[in-house]
């Protein structure tokens, strides 16, 4: 593979596993996350095991200029991005009016704004070359309103909608856009989002299996990818038929702490 993938949130979880998959296929990687120490450790592992080139860009994606800083860095280094994987994101638990507004704003910045900015910057280059792949990591949460995670669910609804729209726009230009919508995943998301005690995470799938699902879907050019068929059926065929008040009550119940 002669391909370079830029992966956000690459220091752990799904992002780290996606980096490993891409490197295992001979692709170079640009690893983006806040933790430089973790990125360095991953860089060493990938270079030793696969002999690929790994470039680090430590960045706080909650900052308004983060996407442009990342893009300028790759430009300055002469790196062409063939595959963009927008994986970085985080959530938070609690009633909206009781949560700190700055945390919700940072969540919107990372989950939506920086993702959108990176996509815009790199997609323009892909269109010019008539070649490229984009994988945006969303969630099954994107198909529901989310009481007790109101902003997180809403940001993921944006990601799923946005991804499908641009996929349609560029489908005839040698570019595919895939949105990955996993259920619960065993990562640092639970601790970071204050979600300990929410029973649904007892069913969490491994980050490795979710990354494999997403990467394979991207390779096939799949539009929307689910890692769990029962959830796919439920969200596509059952939930839309239920009264909205039932959907809200069920959604809230799944997020309540034991």
180-217-112 Cα angle (round to 5)? 25
The alpha carbon dihedral of 234, 185, 161, 129 has a sign of: negative
Strand partners, 176: 133
The alpha carbon dihedral of 205, 8, 79, 129 has a sign of: positive
Query: What 8-state DSSP symbol labels residue 113?
Result: I
- How far apart are the two ends of the chain, measured CA to CA in Å? 47
Q: Residues 71, 152, 153, 158: which is the catalytic one?
A: 152
Question: What CA dihedral angle connects 152, 214, 64 and 27, to 10 degrees?
Answer: 160
Query: What 8-state DSSP symbol labels residue 111?
Result: I
Strand partners, 257: 198
Catalytic residue at 152? Answer: yes
The alpha carbon dihedral of 124, 126, 127, 128 has a sign of: positive
Q: Are 147 and 93 in contact (CB under 8 A)?
A: no
> Mapping DSSP to helix (H, G, I), strand (E, B) and coil, where does residue 152 land?
helix
Tell the residue number behind the tokens 């689910």, with chain if given.
226
Listed residue (60, 67, 53, 4) closest to 35, CA to CA: 60
Positions annotated as catalytic residues are 152
């Amino acid at each position: 593979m002669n391909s370079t993938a830029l992966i956000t949130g690459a220091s752990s979880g799904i992002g780290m596993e996606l980096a490993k998959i891409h490197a295992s296929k001979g692709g170079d990687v640009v690893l983006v996350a806040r933790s430089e120490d973790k990125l360095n450790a991953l860089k060493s592992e990938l270079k030793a095991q696969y002999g690929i080139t790994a470039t680090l860009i430590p960045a706080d994606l909650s900052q308004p200029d983060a996407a442009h800083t990342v893009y300028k860095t790759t430009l300055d280094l002469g790196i062409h991005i063939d595959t963009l994987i927008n994986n970085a994101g985080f959530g938070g638990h609690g009633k909206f009016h009781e949560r700190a507004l700055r945390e919700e704003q940072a969540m919107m910045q990372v989950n939506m704004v920086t993702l959108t900015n990176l996509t815009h910057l790199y997609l323009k280059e892909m269109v010019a070359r008539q070649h490229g792949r984009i994988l945006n990591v969303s969630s099954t949460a994107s198909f529901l309103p989310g009481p007790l995670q109101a902003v997180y669910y809403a940001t993921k609804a944006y990601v799923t909608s946005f991804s499908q729209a641009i996929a349609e726009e560029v489908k005839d230009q040698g570019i595919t856009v895939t949105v990955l919508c996993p259920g619960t995943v065993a990562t640092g998301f639970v601790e970071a989002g204050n979600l300990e005690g929410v029973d649904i995470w007892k069913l969490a799938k491994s980050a490795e299996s979710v990354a494999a699902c997403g990467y394979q879907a991207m390779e096939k050019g799949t539009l929307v990818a689910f890692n769990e068929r029962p959830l796919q059926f439920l969200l596509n065929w059952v939930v839309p038929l239920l009264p909205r008040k039932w959907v809200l009550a069920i959604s809230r119940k799944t997020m309540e702490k034991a």
